[in-house]
Structure 1
């Protein structure tokens, strides 16, 4: 059972419920593990520096210093070429619940390890007063 703690990664209760609905499909093990380890908070209480669903972030690749803008989304809205990254992807699962300043880590489909720092949160639905998206 989840409860609110002072852990490193947080998830809104609404995002948790919606993401758990994906468990019946083909949820990657990384995301299932992430969901089981995140601390839950009500949408109105999530800090503005936490990556939630539909957050828009700037990531900086630890190895190259290259920056990119990504939006974390549900699979139906994913358009990687436009920066809309599915939460079911390795990078998407690694971003969920991270805070600005944290380093997200994931593996590419060919097994390469990647790391990127969340350097800025450009938009978070909850911080803008949207608690239902």
Structure 2
């Protein structure tokens, strides 16, 4: 059996809480005119996500505010926090969900990999190795 290439490889299943789903769909819709490529990618992720009540969202799934550790073909081992655009600060490790990598991370669980395209058109792959929620990270 041959391995699928990146172009035909399916995206992993993702799970998003109802509140994040509603907010992120609105955010992406609002951003369509300013940054259409990223906004469309985030909308596509929201369209394919399994939407659940916040209490049903597993602890190891990336949601807004999560601290995510991942391995990447471009950044090696990295830990970031997924935030809304106004809270983003790359030097502090806070990545906006309205960036290509931020849109790729939402809804993934530890152990899942996803291919994503950077703004410069280069394709990358990342694998989530750990997810911590803000309350757990502070403990």
- For 2:70 and 2:83, the matched residues in 1 are separated by 16
2:15 paired residue among 5, 10, 17: 10
Is the 1:103–1:118 Cα contact (8 Å) retained in structure 2? yes
Matched residue, 2:107: 97
Match of 2:40 in 1: 29
Distance 1:64 1:75, change over 3 A: closer
Distance 2:95 2:53 in 1: 24
> 1:36: Cα distance to partner?
0.8
Normalization by structure 1: what TM-score? 0.82
Q: How well do the aligned residues superpose, as a CA RMSD in angstroms?
A: 1.8
From 58, 64, 76, the equivalent of 2:69 is 58
Q: For 1:82-93, what aligned pairs fall within 5 Å after superposition? A: 82-93=92-103
Contact conserved, 2:62 with 2:106, CA < 8 A, in 1?
yes
SS of alignment partner, residue 31 of structure 2: coil
Q: Which structure has the highest helix share of the two?
A: 2
* Higher Cα Rg, which structure: 2
In 2, Cα distance between equivalents of 1:72 and 1:94: 11
Runs of 4+ in 1 over 4 A off after TM superposition: none
- Give the alignment partner of residue 43 of structure 1, picking from 51, 54, 58: 54
Contact in 2 for aligned 1:91/1:105 (Cα 8 Å): no
